Structure 1
Amino acid sequence: MHFTVINTFTLKDAADAADFEVRFLSHVEWMRARPGFVAHQAVRSLEQPGVYVNFGWWQRPEDFQAVLASDTFKAHAEEFHRIVDVTADPSFGVLRLDGTAAQEDDHLVVEYVTAGEGDDIAALYGRYADADGLVSVDLAKSLFARPGGYTALSRWRSAAQADAARATIVERAEPARPIAGTRAELAPAGA
């Protein structure tokens, strides 16, 4: 699995949404050209429209660290911090499920789960593989920010199918809409 960076961006002023999206898309274009970048998926919360979540997949943590150290990244970050608060959650991908092909009107959900001692969250999420309406799931385990915490981006044909599948798995779920990126095919780690 890949190193995953999950960033949550919260607008300081709701009026800055369009400005943020333009800046973010420009930033992502730059990121895509960096060594070790694999793919990303950015979504905007439907229930909290001032909140965006970006899942970024990298070959190795070192690839992302090199980006963080660059002057261009620092300049972009300085611009972002004027209009959003950022919470970073470096994570490690632990499960990737693929169901049917994605469609534009799929239902996306960012899911947050905290594991208790002995809980096997990846096995719980593995049950999604047999759920009706599954398009995809990417599950990542937080490395530092949320001890025992996992974040998943799941894609379903409908909200009802998502609700039925996760009824006993997830402690908080936020419906979202995509704003940038695609869930690209991941190259094998080290490739």
Structure 2
Amino acid sequence: MPAPLFTVINTFLLKDPAGAEDFERRFLDHVRWMRAQEGFRAHQAVRATERPEVYVNLGWWAAPDLFKQVMASETFQEHAKEFHRLVDVTADPSLGILRIDAEDTRAADGGGVVLVERFTVTGEAEAFEGAYRAYAQAAARLDGFGHTDLAKSLVRPGGYSAATRWSGPAAYRAAHRSPEYAAVLKLADVETLPASPVAGNRSPEVIRHA
């Protein structure tokens, strides 16, 4: 079985909300460069709908060493210096656990909403991962589901992050009323962040775990 993907989860907090346009322009330039780097597989950048000063980007890489090589490059360092003038950055390096795509991918096209969920597991990690897998598989059969990714933090004890694309809030609210999601919440506390997609690609090379 192929190795799980190294997942870089960065949260950006605008120092000045008026700088959103400048940040997005610089970020999109950065993303175009990143997509050409060895080991890059895919990414999803979103902007929180209720906290527009907050952006989150999830990047998937073939291996952490390849990402570290890119980070050490002069171009990356120049981009990072530009970003730090505009945003505060919190990094949560993680390891991909689960990736599921809907059979009908139309829900993932265009706009929609990406629900970012940060879990802190209070029970057994293996039980939580099994419960989330069962929930994700059930959610994938619902109208409005696009895709979901779950990653385990390498720095936050008991920490997991999920990003799920839905056609709209009504779709994920229906999923959250399911017994499968109730089983997830018995094993973890969760913080949710509804967000609008800013940029992303779902590379066919990315391993699908189901």
TM-score scaled to structure 2, two decimals? Answer: 0.84
- Between 1:23-32 and 1:101-110, the stretch displaced more is 101-110
**Superposition pairs for residues 21-60 of structure 1, below 5 Å?**
21-60=24-63
Residue 52 of structure 1 aligns to a residue whose secondary structure is strand
Cα deviations across residues 31-86 of structure 1 (Å, max 9, x unaligned)? Answer: 11110001111000001001000000000001100011111111111110001000
Give the structure with the larger helix fraction.
2
- Name whichever of 117-126 and 17-26 sits farther off: 117-126
Out of 188, 191, 195, which is 1:172 matched to?
191
Residue 158 (1) aligns with residue 168 (2):
yes
SS at match of 1:155: strand
Equivalences for residues 29-178 of structure 1 within 5 A: 29-99=32-102, 100-101=104-105, 102-119=108-125, 120-126=127-133, 127-131=135-139, 132-133=142-143, 134-144=145-155, 146-167=156-177, 168=182, 169=184, 171-178=190-197
> Equivalent residue of 2:171, what SS?
helix
Runs of 4+ displaced beyond 6 Å: none
188 and 139 in structure 1: CA distance in 2 versus 1, 3 angstrom threshold? closer
Q: Secondary structure at the match of 1:185?
A: coil
Q: CA deviation at 1:180?
A: 1.1
Give the drift of 1:188.
4.3
Q: Deviations over 1:96-155 (max 9, x none)?
A: 1111302223221111111124142322222221221322100001001x2111111101
Separation of aligned partners in 2, 1:164 and 1:16: 35
Q: Report the Cα distance in structure 1 between the residues aligned to 2:67 and 2:176, rounded to whole angstroms.
A: 31
Q: Quick one: percent identity of the two aligned structures? A: 51
Give the SS at the match of 1:173: strand
Query: How far did 1:161 drift?
Result: 2.4
1:96–1:137 Cα contact (<8 Å) kept: yes
Match of 1:185 in 2: 204
Contact (CA 8 Å) 2:112, 2:197: kept in 1 or not? no
Counterparts of 1:187 and 1:151, CA distance in 2: 18
Give unmatched runs, 5+ long, in structure 2: none
Contact 1:128 1:165 in 2 (8 A): no
